[in-house]
């Protein structure tokens, strides 16, 4: 009796799988038709807020028991595959393969994109600026170690826009060929990763030299060719470079997130749940910065980040980076920006883009 019921259920699943396959191909056909219209009208190939709307609608409509998290992953891949039929989305990222930035790019665009690893942050900006890729992905700030200065500095001169963001929970592992940390005589990693693990390193590998390299993936590559070396990198890097995990989760703060920015050339439309980033400089006058910040408060605009950096044009001259909730095309934001323009020495809007969704204090998608 049980065998008969099992057979019937499996036959039903086979039938449903066939129906899913039919519907996926039907969706792909519609995506191709949309692609032709976009090409004819000169419209952008990829619209991040459209994907965001699709995913939010599906998650909201999901009655279960299929888990919403898995639903997002599946439909992001469906969207990615359909886009690749129109024309592969080309994405530059801070490489090489298996860096956390590579993981962020895959998470944001899906695996059907065409991904180009670039050795330096400057190269990612240049790839987007010159039209070699449609988009770029760069690390911007870590929840424990702060801003990635090389990324922030590029916005001072680059014309590229911020068109999106994604947060990943970052977990670092000590990797080596043998899987035994007693064999590790030197450790390779990126300075940001090292800084996020400094307490663990001082407790468990005190006296072992730490060598800075350009990425966690490069660290893994070096350790793969050196029996006496270890690398602080991801589990993905361990798989790619044939290493073993000597110690998992060595980051000092377990709630360790990195925010990655998506770079593009087009301005994003308003979604109603947006963030705007800008740079400005203030006159060297008493209360100048305070007066500018008061404009945001008086307009009821919530600032989510403010960071100062040397302008690199004049000693002791600073630029301020600000994130706030809202879109540059909203009336209250436009009015605030006009007011600030009259107070600031310089003002540059870096982009308005969909805010990354979060639930409570934790970001919904985690690495």
Burial of 2 by CB count in 10 Å (0-12 exposed, 13-18 middle, 19+ buried)?
Answer: exposed
DSSP state of 25: H
Question: Is 258 annotated as catalytic?
Answer: yes
- The pLDDT of residue 41 is 76
Q: Are 153 and 221 in contact (CB under 8 A)?
A: no
What does the pLDDT profile of the chain (367 residues) look like in tens digits? Answer: 677 788 888 888 988 888 888 988 888 888 888 877 877 777 766 676 677 778 778 888 888 888 877 887 788 778 777 777 767 789 999 988 888 899 899 888 887 788 999 988 999 999 999 999 999 999 999 887 788 888 998 998 899 999 999 998 888 999 999 999 999 999 999 998 999 999 999 999 998 999 999 888 899 999 999 999 999 998 889 988 999 999 999 999 888 899 999 999 988 888 888 999 999 998 888 888 999 999 999 999 999 999 988 876 666 678 899 999 999 999 999 999 999 999 998 999 999 999 886 543 344 433 3
- The pLDDT of residue 362 is 44
Indicate which residue of 99, 194, 258, 276 is catalytic: 258
Q: Strand runs (DSSP E) across the chain, as ranges?
A: 90-94, 114-118, 135-142, 146-147, 161-169, 173-176, 186-189, 210-212, 229-233, 244-247, 257-264, 274-281, 303-310, 318-325, 346-354, 358-359, 362-363
* 0.95 exceeded by pTM: no
Q: Are 355 and 161 in contact (CB under 8 A)?
A: no
- Supply 5's token pair: 């019921």
Question: Is 155 annotated as catalytic?
Answer: no
- The pLDDT of residue 125 is 97
Helices 68-86 and 2-41: crossing angle in degrees, nearest 10, is 40
Helices 331-341 and 288-298: crossing angle in degrees, nearest 10, is 170
Q: Are 164 and 126 in contact (CB under 8 A)?
A: no
Q: Which of 158, 160, 138, 159 is nearest to 149 (CA)?
A: 138
Indicate which residue of 260, 280, 296, 324 is catalytic: 260
Phi, psi at 349, each rounded to 5°? -80, 120
What domains are defined for the chain? 2-86 (1.20.59.10), 90-169+258-363 (3.30.70.260), 173-255 (3.40.190.10)
- CA max distance for the chain: 86
């Amino acid at each position: 009796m049980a065998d008969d019921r099992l057979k019937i259920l499996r036959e039903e699943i086979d039938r449903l799988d066939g129906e899913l396959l039919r519907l996926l191909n039907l969706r792909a056909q519609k995506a191709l038709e949309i692609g032709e219209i976009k090409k004819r009208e000169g419209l952008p190939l990829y619209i991040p807020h459209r994907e965001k709307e699709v995913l939010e609608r599906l998650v909201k409509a999901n009655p279960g028991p299929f888990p919403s998290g898995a639903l997002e992953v599946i439909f992001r891949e469906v969207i990615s595959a359909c886009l690749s039929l129109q024309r592969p989305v080309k994405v530059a990222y801070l490489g090489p393969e298996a860096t956390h930035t590579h993981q962020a790019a895959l998470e944001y665009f899906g695996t059907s994109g065409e991904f180009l690893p670039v050795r330096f942050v400057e190269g990612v900006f240049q790839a987007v600026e010159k039209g070699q890729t449609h988009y770029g992905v760069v690390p911007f700030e870590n929840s424990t170690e702060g801003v990635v200065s090389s990324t922030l500095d590029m916005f001072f001169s680059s014309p590229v826009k911020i068109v999106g963001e994604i947060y990943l929970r970052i977990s670092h592992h000590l990797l080596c060929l043998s899987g035994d940390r007693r064999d590790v005589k030197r450790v390779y990693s990126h300075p940001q990763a090292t800084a996020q693990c400094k307490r663990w390193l001082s407790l468990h590998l005190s006296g072992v030299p730490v060598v800075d390299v350009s990425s966690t993936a490069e660290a893994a590559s070096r350790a793969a060719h050196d029996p006496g070396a270890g690398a602080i990198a991801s589990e993905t890097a361990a798989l790619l470079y044939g290493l073993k995990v000597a110690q998992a989760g060595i980051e000092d703060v377990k709630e360790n997130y990195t925010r990655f920015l998506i770079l593009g050339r087009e301005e994003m439309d308003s979604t109603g749940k947006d963030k705007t980033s800008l740079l400005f400089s203030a006159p060297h006058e008493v209360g100048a910065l305070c007066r500018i910040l008061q404009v945001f408060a008086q307009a009821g605009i919530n600032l989510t980040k403010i960071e100062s950096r040397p302008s690199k044009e004049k000693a002791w001259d600073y630029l301020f980076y600000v994130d706030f909730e809202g879109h540059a095309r909203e009336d209250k934001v436009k009015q605030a920006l006009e007011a600030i323009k009259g107070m600031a020495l310089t003002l540059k809007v870096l982009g308005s883009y969909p805010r990354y969704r979060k639930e409570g204090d934790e970001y919904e998608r985690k690495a």
